[in-house]
Amino acid sequence: MRFDLDDRVTAAAVAAAGTVIGALIQLRVAWRKEMSARARGVPVTKKSRRGPVLAVLLLLIAAGVGGFALSQYWVRQTDLESTALRGEVQAQLAQINATAQRLERASLGDHPAAVPAQEAATGSKAFSVTTTIGPCHARPPAAADGTHACSEPEALRVTLCGSVPSSAVVTNTVLYARPENFSQPWTERRTAPGMEVGHARFAEKTFERNESEQTKQICTDFFVWDSDQAFSGRMDVSYTSAPALREIANAAVAPISEAGH
């Protein structure tokens, strides 16, 4: 038990203890005088009777002072306990706040830091993949007039793919194709599936294939059979996915291969 008392309380306790000791001494002296007087047959006077009364009065005063000191001690102990409890509560609250902040930072780190306003409002996302295929090299000799020597069955093919969550649903697909030496923007070179652009075209349909348990690929084939210049193709895909499975689509281009292989 701690005795961390205020100076005033300590002084009051000391005074009470001194008063009690003094009163007890006075009572003992008065009692011995009275017993001695009775033994000698001396009658008890009023003055001799004041001694015990004064001692009892002193004891009452000492009891009051001691009670005050004891009450102040318990008040002090209660304040100390309250302060310690308050400190423990504040430490626990600080620990809870720190844990909440760590969880919040971890939650933010699991999702993209920046999401376009339209995508955030609609839940729609998109990705783009591009590729360039060089001129084809026909097996038969080139035509005498120098025109393209490749035919469509001899076209070079590239598969354009983009990764999306397994739960994604494709909402729109836009295709673009242009000769490599053209400087026109992509928006002016939009084409349709299966439509020829010079000596190049996309497949008539896109297709999906599994990539992992969490992702799949959205793909299409791009064909080029021009023997004079390279062609570039681009695929833009828009899709929606569940909020818990939002991921950043990663584009991938399959190796170039010849038709028929």
52-61, 91-100, 131-140, 178-187: which has the minimum mean pLDDT? 52-61
Judge whether 30 and 48 are in contact, CB under 8 Å. Answer: yes
Judge whether 254 and 130 are in contact, CB under 8 Å. Answer: no
Mean pLDDT of the chain: 75
User: CA-to-CA distance for 103 and 101, rounded, in angstroms?
Assistant: 5
As beta bridge partners, residue 160 has: 220, 253
Q: What percent of the chain has pLDDT over 90?
A: 26
pLDDT digit string (tens) for 134-172? Answer: 888 765 555 555 554 688 888 899 999 999 999 899 999
Judge whether 56 and 99 are in contact, CB under 8 Å. Answer: no
Q: What is the pLDDT of residue 243?
A: 55
User: CA-to-CA distance for 224 and 196, rounded, in angstroms?
Assistant: 10
Please report, as a single letter, which amino acid is at residue 128: S
Find all residues with CB under 8 Å of 238, minimum gap 6, and list them. 124, 125, 126, 170, 171, 172, 173
Q: What is the pLDDT of residue 70?
A: 72
Global confidence as pTM: 0.46
Q: What is the pLDDT of residue 244?
A: 42
Neighbours of 213 (CB within 10 A): 7
pLDDT digit string (tens) for 74-114? Answer: 777 788 888 888 888 888 888 898 888 888 777 665 554 44
Q: What is the pLDDT of residue 68?
A: 72
User: CA-to-CA distance for 24 and 54, rounded, in angstroms?
Assistant: 11
Higher pLDDT residue, 8 or 251? 8
Q: What is the pLDDT of residue 78?
A: 83
